[in-house]
């Protein structure tokens, strides 16, 4: 069975640009969460989407936005990129929107902002 | 806001040594607790989780963790580590509706053969 997939794997952008990251959850999973992992730190929660609605938002500026599509895939958008946005962006899917459903993480998208 | 502290950033052990990784959280209410592992080049994987009941939980690959509510701790243990346990370990806490996780900073474990 395919796990959580994310694209692209790596991305290099310039300050001020916009980026879109994509995530496909495990088949049958309805919830997608996004996390940012800066080098040397643990993942930090950005968003959770369940049944196409935002169900949670972390402490990130409005430059960060996301959406979930009818097929439960998701996009994370970041506008006006800053150097500090360089990180590994992780997507996690789960069967439903709450516990005790385990979150399955994808391999991440490595974003470098120059 | 909840926070999670992992005080050991790097741990080096020899094979067969015992392991204990510390995890403390700050939140006064009901929490759900997790340990995730990231092996080199692989995704984050769930090792074990605690929701309620027996505070000693067992996970995969011989790992266990003990929830001590009075100490706000959820330490990870393994009696005898193997070289294949070399990885980064993350403690995480959930204290809200939904499944938002707050992660600690991680502990890099290196096991020498």
Nearest CA to CA, how far is B34 from chain A (Å)? 10
Per DSSP, what are the bridge partners of residue B71? none
Strand locations in B28-99, DSSP E? 32-38, 44-50, 56-58, 64-68, 73-78, 87-94
Q: Which residue of A has its CA nearest to B10?
A: A40
Question: How would residue B98 be classed by pLDDT, with cut points 50, 70 and 90?
Answer: low
Q: Is the pLDDT of residue A101 over 90?
A: no
Residue A2: band (very low, low, confident or very high) from pLDDT cuts 50, 70, 90: confident
Tokens standing for A41?
């730190």
Judging by DSSP bridges, how do beta strands B56-58 and B64-68 pair with one another?
A: antiparallel
CB contact under 8 A, B105 and A41: yes
Between A4, A40, A98, which is nearest B98 by CB?
Answer: A98
Percent of chain B with pLDDT over 70: 97
Residue B99 has pLDDT above 90, yes or no: no
Partner residue facing B99 (CB), from A90, A103, A105: A103
Cβ <8 Å between B106 and A45: no
**A87, B86 contact by CB (below 8 A):** no
Rounded to an integer, the average pLDDT of B70-88 is: 97
Query: How high is the mean pLDDT of chain A?
Result: 94
Rounded Cα gap, residues A6 and A109, in angstroms: 7
| pLDDT tens string A68-90 | 999 999 999 999 999 999 999 99
The token pair at B104 is 């600690």
Separation CA B31–CA B99 (nearest Å)? 11
For A11-39, the pLDDT digits (tens) are: 999 999 999 999 999 999 999 999 999 99
The full 3-state SS of chain A, as one line of letters, equals CCCCEEECCEEEECCCCCEEEEEECCCCCCEEEEEEECCCCCCEEEEEEECCEEEEECCCCCCEEEEECCCCCEEEEECCCCHHHCEEEEEEEECCCCCCCCCEECCCEEEEEC
- Tens-digit pLDDT profile for residues B26-72: 987 888 999 999 999 899 999 999 998 999 999 999 999 999 999 99
Mutate to test the interface with A, among B96, B99, B102, B104 (most CBs of A within 10 A): B99
A93 min Cα distance to partner chain B (Å): 10
Q: Say yes or no to pLDDT of B9 above 90.
A: yes
Sign of the alpha-carbon dihedral angle for A92, B46, B48, B110: negative
Query: B51, B74, B42, B46: which is closest to B61 by C-alpha?
Result: B46
Is A98 a residue whose pLDDT tops 80?
no
The CA–CA distances, whole Å, from B50 to B65, B67, B74, B92 equal 9, 8, 9, 11
Listing DSSP states for B94-112 in one string gives E-SSTT--EE---EEEEEE
Q: What is the mean pLDDT of chain B?
A: 93
* Contact between B100 and A40 using a beta-carbon 8 Å cutoff: no
| Residues A100, B94: C-beta atoms closer than 8 Å | no
Looking at the complex, does the CB of residue A13 fall below 8 Å from at least one CB of chain B?
no
**Residue B97 above 70 pLDDT?**
no
């Amino acid at each position: 069975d395919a796990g959580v997939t994310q694209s692209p794997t790596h991305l290099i952008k310039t300050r001020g640009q916009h980026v879109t990251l994509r995530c496909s959850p495990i088949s049958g999973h309805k919830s997608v969460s996004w996390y940012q992992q800066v080098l040397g730190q643990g993942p930090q929660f950005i968003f959770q989407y369940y049944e196409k609605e935002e169900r949670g938002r972390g402490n990130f500026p409005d430059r960060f936005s996301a959406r979930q599509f009818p097929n439960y895939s998701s996009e994370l958008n970041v506008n006006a990129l800053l150097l500090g946005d360089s990180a590994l962006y992780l997507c996690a899917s789960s069967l439903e929107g709450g516990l005790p459903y385990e979150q399955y993480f994808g391999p991440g998208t490595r974003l470098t902002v120059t | 806001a909840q926070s999670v502290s992992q005080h050991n950033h790097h741990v080096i052990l020899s094979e067969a040594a015992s392991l204990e990784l510390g995890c403390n959280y700050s939140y006064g209410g009901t929490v759900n607790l997790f340990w995730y592992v990231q092996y080199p080049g692989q995704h984050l994987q769930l090792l074990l989780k605690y929701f309620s009941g027996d505070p000693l939980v067992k996970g995969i690959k011989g790992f266990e963790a003990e929830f001590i509510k009075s100490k706000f701790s959820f330490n990870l243990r393994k009696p005898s580590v193997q070289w294949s346990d070399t990885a980064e370990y993350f403690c995480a806490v959930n204290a809200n509706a939904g499944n938002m996780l707050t992660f600690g900073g991680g502990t890099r474990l290196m096991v020498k053969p």
